[in-house]
A and B are shown apart, each in its own frame.
Chain A
Amino acid sequence: MAEQRTPGARVAGLGADALAIVEAVGRAGIMLFHSVATVPNLRTALPLLARQIYAIGVLSLVIIIVAGLFIGMVLGLQLYRVLVDFGSEAALGQLIALTLNRELGPVVTALLFAGRAGSAVTAEIGLMKSTEQLSSMEMIGVDPLRRIVAPRFWAGVIAMPLLAMIFSSVAILGGWLVGVEWLGVYDGSYWSAMQNSVEFGEDIGNGIIKSLVFAAVCIWIAVFQGYDAEPTSEGISRATTRTVVYSSLAVLGLDFLLTAVMFKGF
């Protein structure tokens, strides 16, 4: 069908697509502003927040811990094979800790988070929209942005840095398990090489800033895709896919930018 369009119509279609993208970004920004820029009523907001931290954070804990353990163990195994050729397997702890705190911790957590929690949030809000729960809320005078969107957004922003730190810790212990317990790197040099090279502000602090940024972007995409979904079963499935794809791409792109700004050498 697209082949039969005139060149003019195709250019017009391109323009319409671009306008639609800009419009969607605008809608997303306005939605975020209206749900976040309100003074919450603490008595009602806190239980809602706790429920969402449970759904978003606690339920993601298992996948984060298991993934962290295996990634740490693989890192230990691979880096040991390279380092042992140079007789410097004592640097294993340093390499594992730096890779995890600077890059892998925040990024892998964000990707898992987008797949595990982001998609669930999108599907939930999308279904609420298609079953007209959101419009009913508006009818009885409850603002769905404050009641539905805001708690999920804040829960994501709170939960993800914690998940990233748990991920890094578990992975460092996984690397220790393989490197020290199995391959026989000296326990003291694993930790002391790590402590000599990892700077608290430079490495761990920047890692936490990264995961805060990723959290805000991922959960923003997730709530917006749900809120903006076409209220049909097909529309919800498309929105869920978009959440995972957009979040992953945004995380990887932003990670490059943040790394370029944070670790510019010296």
Chain B
Amino acid sequence: MKTRTLELAVGAFLIAGFLAFAFLAIKVSGLSFAAPEGSYLVNARFENVSGLTVRAKVTIGGVLVGRVTGIRLDPETHAAMVEMAIDGSVKGLTTDTTAAILTSGLLGEKYIGLEPGAEDTELQPGDIIRDTQSALVLENLIGKFLSNQLNKSTEE
């Protein structure tokens, strides 16, 4: 085989390999090199975040506006602190904004739904959202349902 065709084939192979690497990095693992330009961080305090993961979606009215960037335990209150990066184009979130951990589908992934409030003061970067609704824990729900049924049947 001529050297030129050989080198062309090897070059094409190497490029295909690097393209596959880029595909895996960007499309499959969703790697972005930094938080998008102009996004700001907001914290929220939850009783329970079970099932929520880093890089979960943050939505307002079902529209994607950011990602969860960190989950840690507040050492004093033992509440879960969730840090999220919100897209800079989303402005005017008020201080009484509420955050809820929602599930897409019955057993799908967990995400955070924000609901803007009516206050005049705006949420500043780094502020903490306190009015939150925790993740739905299926076991607790079933337990409550069963004890309700039990109470009803004893009353009758």
A interface residues, Cβ below 8 angstroms from B: 47, 50-51, 53-54, 57-58, 61, 86-88, 90-91, 97, 101, 159, 161-163, 165-166, 168-169, 172, 189, 191-200, 203-204
B30–A47 touching, CB < 8 Å:
no
Q: Looking across the interface, which residue of chain B has its beta carbon closest to that of A50?
A: B10
If A87-B106, A162-B17, A196-B56 touch, whether A204 touches B25 (CB-CB below 8 Å) is yes
B16–A162 touching, CB < 8 Å:
yes
Of B10, B28, B31, B105, which is within 8 A of A97 by CB?
A: B28
Interface of A is mostly: helix
Of B7, B9, B29, which is within 8 A of A199 by CB?
A: B29
Give the docked Cα–Cα distance between A59 and B74 (Å): 56
Give the docked Cα–Cα distance between A204 and B18 (Å): 13
B107–A88 touching, CB < 8 Å:
yes
For the complex formed, measure the closest distance between the CB of A105 and the CB atoms of chain B, giving whole angstroms: 9
A194–B28 touching, CB < 8 Å:
yes
If A57-B13, A58-B9 touch, whether A87 touches B55 (CB-CB below 8 Å) is no
Give the docked Cα–Cα distance between A172 and B25 (Å): 13
Q: Give me 6 A-to-B residue pairs in the complex whose CB atoms sit less than 8 angstroms apart, sorted by A's number.
A: A53-B14, A87-B106, A163-B17, A196-B30, A196-B55, A197-B53
Q: Which residues of B contact A194 (CB under 8 A)?
A: 28, 30
For the complex formed, measure the closest distance between the CB of B32 and the CB atoms of chain A, giving whole angstroms: 10
Give the docked Cα–Cα distance between A45 and B39 (Å): 49
Q: Which residues of A contact B7 (CB under 8 A)?
A: 50
B13–A87 touching, CB < 8 Å:
no
Contact flags B115-149 to A (C-beta < 8 A → 1, else 0): 00000000000000000000000000000000000
A191–B27 touching, CB < 8 Å:
yes
If A57-B10, A204-B24 touch, whether A195 touches B30 (CB-CB below 8 Å) is yes
B28–A90 touching, CB < 8 Å:
no
B151 within 8 A of partner (CB): no
For the complex formed, measure the closest distance between the CB of A55 and the CB atoms of chain B, giving whole angstroms: 10
Q: Which residues of A contact B14 (CB under 8 A)?
A: 53, 162
Q: Which residues of B contact A87 (CB under 8 A)?
A: 105-107
> Which of A54, A159, A163 has most chain B Cβ within 10 Å?
A54
B109–A193 touching, CB < 8 Å:
yes
> Which of B13, B55, B106, B108 has most chain A Cβ within 10 Å?
B13
A169–B20 touching, CB < 8 Å:
yes
B21–A195 touching, CB < 8 Å:
no
Q: Which residues of B contact A203 (CB under 8 A)?
A: 29
A90–B25 touching, CB < 8 Å:
no
Q: Which residues of A contact B63 (CB under 8 A)?
A: none
If A57-B10, A58-B13, A166-B16 touch, whether A88 touches B108 (CB-CB below 8 Å) is yes
